[in-house]
Amino acid sequence: MPTGPRIARDESRAHQGAPTLMPPIREVPSREVLAGDSADVYFFRATRILEREGLDPLVLMEVFARRPGVLCGIDEAKTLLGHALADADPSEVTVDALADGDLFDAKEVVLRIHGRYRAFGLYETAILGMLAQATGWATAARECVEAASPKPVISFGARHVHPNISHLLDYAAIVGGCVGASTPAGARLAGLAPTGTMPHALVLIFGDTVEAALAFDRDLEPDVPRIVLVDTFKDEAEEALRVANALGDRLYGIRLDTPAERGRVTADLVKEVRARLDLAGFHHVRIVVSGGLTPERILYFREHEAPVDNYAVGSYISGATPIDFTGDIKEIDGAPIAKRGRIPGRTDSPRLRPVDLAAWR
């Protein structure tokens, strides 16, 4: 059975230590998707016309993108096909695909479906949408991870998307190489525990960073890393020392999230905070940086040798442009065919692997 994203990542680098693995969950297709309500209406109309005309040929469909990326959403598409083709004649149906986390080239086939058109044609919109959005997120995440390497990146982008899809965003970010994500649902999709620190709201309500940190330490489970925001009320270096003195060895790290109105986080600020913590003997305290991070901003910190231990990235990943995918019919009843501009017949795609649809239901 599939067990979540098949990607190589060093989870020991996560800012909370090695993340707790959890049983991954499967994204079961919704009623709207299975009913075709989320499909472009012309697919619904085409299916109805073919049914009335008594036509349901065996077709071969191939899916590809025009630019390279980190594939994501393909496992969700396999689950959809597993449900949609559950009643199809197994002797007529074959599905071959890459997997979530695979790198792919421009125009490389990532999914091939062979079966009766009316059994799966209605789901072309859903399949392409699953791939386009999630692959865009995963590819943007990989850009941040490569810029930060070997330091880890965490996905903090859930607040930038609709809550109904925030878990898919976080899952895609992990597929792209992030070592953790902020939402429980997104982390569970990847078989991880969620990652997070504390909100400014908590510090504001307590009226003091140290008081908020002490309450955080008192009230949360021991396995939750004690990572404290230090930019709410006072100078960041001063607050970092106050929190470190209050929590001692229990303090895992501090997070710098200085807003643009105050000059945002700079390499010099990170260096000062690190130096003051070290001079006071708090060498174990890690520094997490967040706030409008992009690959370029991450490279800025690296080029200036800022001692950042972890990067938390939000809008760059969540706001990534979807990567367009196309579904082409390349055979009908065994005969090669294609629209103008495309090569008729099956494309040589040696990296595709057979999909056991029964395992994806």
| CATH code of the domain containing 151 | 3.20.20.70
Single-letter residue type at 8: A
Asked whether residue 12 is assigned to any structural domain, the reply reads no
CB of 137 closer than 8 Å to CB of 71: no
The whole-model pTM stands at: 0.90
Task: State residue 196's pLDDT score.
Answer: 84
Report the C-alpha gap between 68 and 106 in whole angstroms.
5
Task: State residue 12's pLDDT score.
Answer: 33
Asked whether residue 13 is assigned to any structural domain, the reply reads no
Residues 251 and 306 in one domain: yes
What's 87-147 look like in SS3?
Answer: CCCCCCCEEEECCCCCEECCCCEEEEEEEEHHHHHHHHHHHHHHHHHHHHHHHHHHHHHHH
Domain of residue 305: give its range. 146-318
The count of domains in the chain is: 2
Asked whether residue 141 is assigned to any structural domain, the reply reads no
Residues 156 and 97 in one domain: no
The vertex-323 CA angle with 321 and 325, nearest 5°, equals: 150
Residues 52 and 74 in one domain: yes
Residues 245 and 308 in one domain: yes
Task: State residue 2's pLDDT score.
Answer: 36
Asked whether residue 9 is assigned to any structural domain, the reply reads no
Residues 162 and 213 in one domain: yes
Edge-to-edge order in the sheet of strand 353-354? 335-336, 325-332, 58-65, 109-116, 94-97, 353-354
Task: State residue 24's pLDDT score.
Answer: 62
Residues 306 and 333 in one domain: no
Please report, in angstroms and rounded to a whole number, the separation of the first and last CA atoms in the chain: 10
Asked whether residue 3 is assigned to any structural domain, the reply reads no
Residues 130 and 28 in one domain: yes
CB of 253 closer than 8 Å to CB of 15: yes
Task: State residue 8's pLDDT score.
Answer: 36
Residues 119 and 249 in one domain: no
Among 160, 186, 164, smallest CA distance to 174 is for: 186
Residues 275 and 291 in one domain: yes
CATH number assigned to the domain comprising residue 112: 3.90.1170.20
Residues 110 and 72 in one domain: yes
CB of 226 closer than 8 Å to CB of 216: yes
Residues 200 and 287 in one domain: yes
Report the C-alpha gap between 170 and 191 in whole angstroms.
12
Task: State residue 23's pLDDT score.
Answer: 56
Residues 76 and 176 in one domain: no
Task: State residue 36's pLDDT score.
Answer: 87
Peptide bond into 150 cis (omega under 30): yes
Report the C-alpha gap between 54 and 102 in whole angstroms.
39
Task: Per residue of the chain (361 residues), give pLDDT as tens.
Answer: 333 343 433 333 333 343 445 556 677 888 889 888 889 999 999 999 999 999 999 999 999 999 999 999 999 999 999 999 999 999 999 999 999 999 999 999 999 999 999 999 999 999 999 999 999 999 999 999 999 999 999 999 999 999 999 999 999 999 999 999 999 999 888 888 888 889 999 999 999 999 999 999 999 999 899 999 999 999 999 999 999 999 999 999 999 999 999 999 999 999 999 999 999 999 999 999 999 999 999 999 999 999 999 999 999 999 999 999 999 999 999 999 999 999 999 999 999 999 999 999 8
Report CA torsion sign: 8, 10, 15, 18.
positive
